[in-house]
Amino acid sequence: MKQQDSFRIERINELIRRELVTLLKNETKDPRLANINITDVLTSRDLSAAKVYYTVSEKDKSAVVPLLAKASGFFRSRLSKTIDLRHTPALRFIFDPAPNTGARIDDLLAKL
What is the pTM assigned to this prediction?
Answer: 0.81
Question: What span, in angstroms and rounded, lies between the C-alpha atoms of 42 and 39?
Answer: 10
One of 2.40.10.340, 3.30.300.20, 3.40.50.2300, 3.30.1360.30 is the CATH number of 3-111, namely 3.30.300.20
- Note the Cα 99 to chain centre separation in Å: 14
- pLDDT for 4 beyond 70: no
pLDDT value of position 32: 82
Q: Which of 3-7, 42-46, 107-111 comes out lowest in average pLDDT?
A: 3-7
User: What is the three-class DSSP state of 17?
Assistant: helix
User: What is the three-class DSSP state of 84?
Assistant: coil
pLDDT digits (tens, 9 = 90+) for 30-85: 888 888 889 999 999 998 999 999 988 878 888 898 999 999 999 999 999 998 88
pLDDT value of position 41: 94
